[in-house]
Amino acid sequence: MVVVFSGLSKKEMEIVSWIEFYGKYFFRVQEIKRFFKSKNQRYNVMKNLLKKKRIIKLNRSKYYLVPIKAKSGSWIENPFVIADEIFDGSNYFVGGYAAAYFWKFSDQIPAQIDIFTTKRQGKKEIFNMRFVFHRTTKKSLENSVSKNIGNHSFNVLNKKQAKEWMKSRS
């Protein structure tokens, strides 16, 4: 069976297939460096994959590959996993309504994911989910716990703090 992917060049298809084969949906440019002859070629291929929405840029060096099995380029990844990948698993925690929803203090699915970190602030939209980054202190990072979704861990505000936060909103 031959699968034809319209719009992908031979080089792009080679890279996407390699990433899919090894299941590295979250990857760095250094991991696929061997496919390129020069920095210029690497830049152009990555730019084209971004434009074609086959990959999504998470931070300066990390990308997410939209799986080939995704119909028409739409795919949903767990936002807690995306948050963890953006920060490489450290110096952050998921808080706000997302943490309250995780601990089942709220039945409403959060409209945005609030991420508290020492590194950045602002907003970013990934997979039609809004990620809002809030600046916080290293001391407040101690209020987080590490939890798992599948085989991926992430940091979330601890249950006691999330409950207090939810009570302050009512």
User: Domain limits at 123?
Assistant: 79-169
83 shares its domain with 165: yes
DSSP labels, 12-68: HHHHHHHHHHHT-SEEEGGGGGGG-SSHHHHHHHHHHHHHTTSEEE-SSSEEEEPPT
Q: What pLDDT, on the 0 to 100 scale, is given for residue 2?
A: 42
60 shares its domain with 85: no
15 shares its domain with 92: no
Q: Is residue 101 part of a domain?
A: yes
Domain count, the chain: 2
Q: Is residue 113 part of a domain?
A: yes
CATH number assigned to the domain comprising residue 57? 1.10.10
Give CA separation, 45 vs 32, 110, 111, in Å.
11, 35, 33
65 shares its domain with 99: no
Separation between Cα atoms, residue 98 and residue 101, nearest integer Å: 5
Q: What pLDDT, on the 0 to 100 scale, is given for residue 42?
A: 94
Q: Is residue 48 part of a domain?
A: yes
Q: Is residue 60 part of a domain?
A: yes
159 shares its domain with 98: yes
Q: What pLDDT, on the 0 to 100 scale, is given for residue 70?
A: 62
Q: What pLDDT, on the 0 to 100 scale, is given for residue 120?
A: 82
Q: What pLDDT, on the 0 to 100 scale, is given for residue 74?
A: 57
- The whole-model pTM stands at 0.82
48 shares its domain with 97: no
Q: Is residue 91 part of a domain?
A: yes
Q: Is residue 149 part of a domain?
A: yes
Q: Going residue by residue through the chain (170 aa), what tens digit of pLDDT does each one get?
A: 344 455 888 999 999 999 999 989 999 999 999 999 999 999 999 999 999 988 999 998 899 998 877 655 556 788 999 999 999 999 999 999 999 999 999 999 899 999 999 988 899 998 788 999 999 999 999 999 999 988 899 999 999 999 999 999 87
16 shares its domain with 90: no
93 shares its domain with 151: yes
132 shares its domain with 160: yes
